Chain A
């Protein structure tokens, strides 16, 4: 089976630090992968480079077997795709940002409609029906006409997820989906993501919450200094890490959680 996403040797330098230092990652259809690591390890940069919101300095991205952003031609020459070509493939990826970045001048419904109409060329009635159905499914049926600033944190998160889902992406990318939420809402989002996973959605979730990763992910990848240094089935990797740095990280996070008594 072809992977939905294949990232190979992705590298990105910011001034002198290697934000990404040759990352390889395959994600297969229906898989939920949690990407964990300390802040500053390159997790968010990896998402931005996979989606070509930031241009990787080196390396390749393939979406559903097709090169995305740049490709190596038959003659072995690296050819960068045009901004238009990149934009045309972006709907295959859904991106749920840490800050959500909902459009404040549009209603919840229109936030979910606009991309479908403008980018996919769907006619308005079809797009609105799809958006309304999605928001309904996410429990926002009565809030379609609200603007983002009139919604709670959890509601906004669901609008952002609906906006991404409306484009029928092959892969959903989440950047720290729980960081902006209060503890009660975290459980709600967890349930939501599990629901999506059961529906067969392929997801890559950046998080620094081990508990969250353990409960939602099939596979866990641990990043450190711009590299994925350990990955494997969630249960196995989280309970018996092989890599000392990963073990130290888990140890630290779990001990911190015990002393604080939360979650």
Chain B
């Protein structure tokens, strides 16, 4: 019994469909999750204790509960609140809320890592708070936030495989279906693995492009080692 490439070619449309859904979910969850991350990070930096407590509770909760449980609680809990959403939407929201907890920590830490003196010198030339954020603090945060965000996004993309358990037709789900029809699990999951790998490479490349565009004045050697580090970060569950 050899490796039957025919199984893969015959069912390629179904698997590619699944890959497309995984890409859509990842992009939507990234956008929504990052929006949550920015809002939560800003809240955590506000004066006063209440916002900090809210953010700490949010981050603490979603970092402590396995994603599949978070997903089930949301998926089976929403109907109790009389909210009925398509499984796809529930999946996107759950992933966004989950990864948003990590994005929050990344952004908050990056803003706090900008020396206080940077804000002083921005104010000293007469910039208002929003101007200082836009011209001085923001750009420095963006650059330091990219590597860690890439890690979290890759983890999140892989975690989306769990959405197969609520019947979303993403890559893993399609793989399971095709496998059930063909009884050729090795060929099917090898193909699924290659598709995940391709998506991950694309995300890493996009992140690299953004990072270079963000204009880091560094030598090529440093850049190359960073790229290497990013590929290493494809490791399962490297989050921080």
Contact = CB atoms under 8 A, between A and B. Distances in A.
Interface of A: 51, 53, 83-84, 87-91, 93-95, 97, 99-105, 114-115, 118-120, 147, 149-150, 163-164, 167
Candidate in B123, B125, B129, B217 with the most chain A CB atoms within 10 angstroms: B125
Contact of B128 (A84, A89, A150): A84
11 contacts: A51-B124, A53-B124, A84-B128, A95-B120, A95-B121, A95-B124, A103-B122, A105-B143, A120-B126, A164-B125, A167-B126
B125 A167 contact: yes
A183 B124 CA distance: 28
A90 B140 CA distance: 23
Contacts of A94: 124
A129 B70 CA distance: 57
A87 B217 contact: no
Given A119-B126, A164-B124, 7 more contacts: A90-B124, A97-B120, A103-B122, A104-B140, A118-B135, A119-B125, A150-B217
B136 interface: yes
Nearest to A103: B136
Given A99-B117, A105-B139, A105-B140, A118 B124 contact: no
Contacts of A119: 125-127, 131
Contacts of B129: 83
A90 B121 contact: no
A87 B135 contact: no
B127 to A, nearest CB: 6
A87 B128 contact: yes
A160 to B, nearest CB: 8
B123 A90 contact: yes
Contact of A114 (B123, B135, B143): B135
Nearest to B131: A118
Interface of B: 115, 117-118, 120-129, 131, 135-136, 139-140, 143, 215, 217
Contacts of B118: 101, 103
Contacts of B143: 105
A89 B124 CA distance: 10
Contacts of A118: 127, 131, 135
A223 B135 CA distance: 36
A16 to B, nearest CB: 23
Contacts of A167: 125-126
A129 B129 CA distance: 27
Contacts of B215: 105
Contacts of A115: 125-127
B212 to A, nearest CB: 14
A147 B128 contact: no
Given A97-B117, A105-B140, A163 B128 contact: no
Nearest to B117: A101
Nearest to B139: A105
A97 B120 CA distance: 9
Contacts of B121: 95, 97, 100-103, 163
B127 A53 contact: no
A53 B117 CA distance: 11
Candidate in B129, B135, B143 with the most chain A CB atoms within 10 angstroms: B135
B219 to A, nearest CB: 11
The 3 closest A-B pairs by CB, nearest first: A115-B125, A101-B121, A101-B117
Contacts of B120: 53, 95, 97, 101
A99 B121 CA distance: 10
Nearest to B134: A118
B133 to A, nearest CB: 12
Contacts of B115: 99, 101
Contacts of A83: 128-129
Nearest to A105: B139
A87 B123 contact: yes
B128 A91 contact: no
A64 to B, nearest CB: 15
Contacts of A102: 121
A100 B118 CA distance: 9
A172 B39 CA distance: 38
Contact of A93 (B124, B127, B135, B139): B124
A101 B140 CA distance: 13
A93 B118 CA distance: 17
A90 B136 contact: no
A103 B138 CA distance: 11
A175 B32 CA distance: 45
Candidate in B115, B118, B143 with the most chain A CB atoms within 10 angstroms: B118
